[in-house]
Structure 1
Amino acid sequence: MSTPLIIAAHGTRDAEGEAVCRSLAERVAGMLPDAKVALGFVELSEPSIPEALTEVLTDGPGHRAVVVPLMLGTGGHVRSDIPEFIAEALQHVPAARIDYAGHLGADPRLVSVVRDRIAAALGDWDPARTTLVFVGRGALVPDANADHVRLARMHYEEGGWADVEAAFIQVTRPSLPEALDRAYAAGARQLVVMGHWLFPGRLRQWTIEQSEAWADAHPYAQVRVAEVIGDCDELAEVVVDRYRETLPDASPSGSPAYLTGLLLDDRSVVVVGAGRVSARRVPRLLDSGAKVTLIAPEATGGLRRLAEDGALEWLPRPYQEGDLDGAWYALASTDDPEVNARVAADAEAEHTFCVRADDARRGSAWTAASHSAGGVSVAVIGNREPRRSRTVRDAIFASQSVRQAIFSALTEG
């Protein structure tokens, strides 16, 4: 049997919300047939996280477990409460090892589900004439609130909305009614409210009630409310990935990847897909001197300008067999997993190293979290843990001793 998974959920007095959460846990269990999957709750529902952990660690093999917080943001539950529950469980099973996974965050799969829920509420309205009010829980942790505002901005940049207002249902401001007032004052008369929640419960009910009350007081405006994310394959897949990223079976010496520096100057690199991932990585490939061929029917503005300037070759069409002929390195970063799988398979047949942006495990290379300063580059690669790699990279360059070492090396040279 594999290492057990404890899903750390919030808990609710809403019977429907708890049922949907338990259904999600069953879906996750179906994706991990060799691992015991259990639910533990922060509050309001049973069992508690320490109870679920203690039971699994006492009965299971190896006294190991992975805890995945079923949370979209990094508020107090993720930063304080769940770690404290883990510490409490370790008091009962002191020889156990409990690994704590990252929260769900703005995973592209969840962002896509949210867009689907918003589109269903939007119906026949034109987004260009509609304002989206994107509602988060609200936290005492400023970073968590800032993450929500950032995600609201992403929806604005990518959704074609007339405007997007970020709001919070509790703890901080602007409140949902305040955000609706702002949108109305700016001229919005068609508004879609999206409560960024996982399951039915108090937050969903408050969102509906406040939206309806505001609409009743503003007869010249129309308000539609989108549904929550709910029990779906995409959410279950993210939970499974957080679990697998955190499994305590990584190579004892670090990442299983073999670290090397690729010299791509004047060598062919093929990038399939022209979205946000490619927009981040193509400039670095060009800086390395690579001859980049971009393959995608559409491209972001930045990549389009690079093509117009002659910095890369853009083939405005779908990926085709033979596109990797002669390539030294490939990046599969479309929003279609089947296309990415084809690119990775063709790369394997061509002995071309390939990064698969949507599923790193099924590529043959990983992109390091890197930073350069003073002619020195530092790259960090974890065991399929990009967030941890970025955290370590940032910590390295935030260190005064590292900055001093770089300066000393430059002055001595």
Structure 2
Amino acid sequence: MTHVMTPVPPIATDLPPLVIAGHGTREAEGVAVCLALVDRVRTLLPGVRVEAGFVELTPPTIDAALSSVLDGGVPHAVVVPLMIGSGGHVREDIPEAIETGKAAHPGASVVYTRHLGSPVPLVSAVRKRIATASADWSAADVTVVFVGRGCSITDANADHVRLGRVLLETGGYAGVLPAFIQVARPTVAESLSVAYCTGSRRIVVMPHYLFPGRLTSWVQAAVDEWSAGHPDAQVRVAGPVGDCPELAEVVAKRYREGSLRARTDLGSPAYLTGLLLSGRKVVAVGGGCVNRRRVPKLLAAGADVTVVAPELHPTLVELAAAGSITWRERDFQDSDLDGAWYVLATTDDPETNARVVTAAEARHTFCVRADQADLGSAWTPATGDIPGATIAVLASHNPRRSATLRNKLVELMEAADD
């Protein structure tokens, strides 16, 4: 199937265009499912031009798609690799294509985001595919053979094995055995044999690929060959992740991360400032560990803190009993934010957090959203105190890097004082 990129009229927006960088396939079904996913992402990013480009096999190439969206003087673009792992395409092929694509646009900047990885939505999608294949089988009776692509990069293979452990601990399966279709071991047949030797007779093979193609065909062939020699074992093959809301959500999230970086020349897209909260109302929605850490710091800054949550962490219970905070012992209501200067949305429920952000936005009140920071209007920096000063670091929405830089700066300052 040949896909011809249709010219898209310019969109009147300052949002940078998105190029979704896929692998490509000779299989018409795989191309169709991928392009359906691209359409789904478009619905999540209104006002953003979204195009697909491919490493090989399927047109257009990534560099051609990128060059197209940069035509007409567009200053920025975002490229999201449509790749689960961090193999050679992510590390080499796509960056090279980006350089080629922007060569004719020397004034443009292109933000290349991190790969998809294994965030909660994608893990959920994988579990749904396994559940569909399992059908009438109980998860506790099923051994999953979890098949990755396999490559020469050890870290990428290790990520696949790690994700298999996540599935084991969250899915309730009898076992999860990693396998690879290329380069790395164990093979599909080897992992099927291990499952068989441990007594499993109900096996689901999960090809951890995004779309149907040659890889899924190879997995099916390997399963058919092994099953012919083991007629007493029942083996079912799950479908790939495919065009689904969970995958589109992760791609859109990667775009939003990149979009923030694309529209600023600063080290972080956030504007750092110090909030003087003494005597001002701050609302923290959620009674768990995040607010257990943040509320005491807000109190130390003199804020008048209200916590909204049906239940509280013991530390917060003590603060409420002492009268240090106001506790509204119930679920969030929009009116809780009336008069607030600053808001924290830190519940375990994404829908509640989204409601908090929306209510804060309507009141022109800055809000930190803990589960999806890019969807809030403020970020919490990594901070460290030294005599007479507080050091704060925001590293482009990368909390680990923020903390690492904060620690190094604190060490440097403490050493300078010695």
How far apart, in 1, do the equivalents of 2:39 and 2:132 lie?
26
Task: Please list the CA deviations of residues 267-305 of structure 1 after superposition, one character each: whole Å capped at 9, or x if unmatched.
Answer: 9985648xxxx66x46745986989989579xxxxx9xx
Match of 1:231 in 2: 243
The runs of 5 or more residues in structure 1 that have no matched partner are: 298-302
Match of 1:360 in 2: 373
How far apart, in 2, do the equivalents of 1:184 and 1:292 lie?
56
Q: Normalising by the residue count of structure 1, what TM-score does the alignment of the two structures yield?
A: 0.77
Give 1:108's match in structure 2, choosing from 95, 100, 120. 120
Q: 1:334 and 2:341 equivalent?
A: no
The 3 A distance-change label for structure 1 pair 161 and 288 is farther
How far apart, in 2, do the equivalents of 1:63 and 1:329 lie?
33
Q: Deviation of residue 9 (structure 1)? A: 0.7
Give 1:23's match in structure 2, choosing from 26, 30, 36. 36
Aligned amino acid, residue 348 of structure 2: T
Q: Deviation of residue 201 (structure 1)? A: 0.4
Task: Please list the CA deviations of residues 361-399 of structure 1 after superposition, one character each: whole Å capped at 9, or x if unmatched.
Answer: 44454344x4879999965434xx53x4434544675x7
Match of 1:42 in 2: 55
Alignment of 1:11-410 (within 5 A): 11-57=24-70, 59-247=71-259, 248-250=262-264, 252=266, 254-260=268-274, 272=286, 281=290, 284-285=293-294, 319=331, 321=333, 330-337=344-351, 339-344=352-357, 355-368=368-381, 370=382, 380-382=393-395, 385-386=396-397, 388-391=398-401, 393-394=403-404, 405=412, 408-409=415-416
- How many correspondences in the alignment? 386
Q: Deviation of residue 17 (structure 1)? A: 0.3
Q: Secondary structure of the residue that 1:218 maps to in structure 2?
A: coil
How far apart, in 1, do the equivalents of 2:366 and 2:123 lie?
29
Aligned amino acid, residue 64 of structure 2: E
How far apart, in 1, do the equivalents of 2:49 and 2:343 lie?
39
Q: Secondary structure of the residue that 1:43 maps to in structure 2?
A: coil
The 3 A distance-change label for structure 1 pair 65 and 222 is same
The 3 A distance-change label for structure 1 pair 37 and 270 is closer
Q: Secondary structure of the residue that 1:13 maps to in structure 2?
A: coil
Aligned amino acid, residue 68 of structure 1: V
Are the aligned partners of 1:191 and 1:223 in contact in 2 as well (CA < 8 Å)?
A: yes
How far apart, in 1, do the equivalents of 2:23 and 2:77 lie?
19
Q: Secondary structure of the residue that 1:198 maps to in structure 2?
A: coil
- C-alpha root-mean-square deviation of aligned residues, in Å? 3.9
Q: Normalising by the residue count of structure 2, what TM-score does the alignment of the two structures yield?
A: 0.76
Aligned amino acid, residue 347 of structure 2: S
Higher Cα Rg, which structure: 2
Q: Secondary structure of the residue that 2:236 maps to in structure 1?
A: strand
The runs of 5 or more residues in structure 2 that have no matched partner are: 1-10, 300-304, 321-326
Task: Please list the CA deviations of residues 327-365 of structure 1 after superposition, one character each: whole Å capped at 9, or x if unmatched.
Answer: 98644333442x323344567799997543344344454
Task: Please list the CA deviations of residues 217-251 of structure 1 after superposition, one character each: whole Å capped at 9, or x if unmatched.
Answer: 22232212211111123322322222221122137
Larger deviation: 388-397 or 153-162?
Answer: 388-397
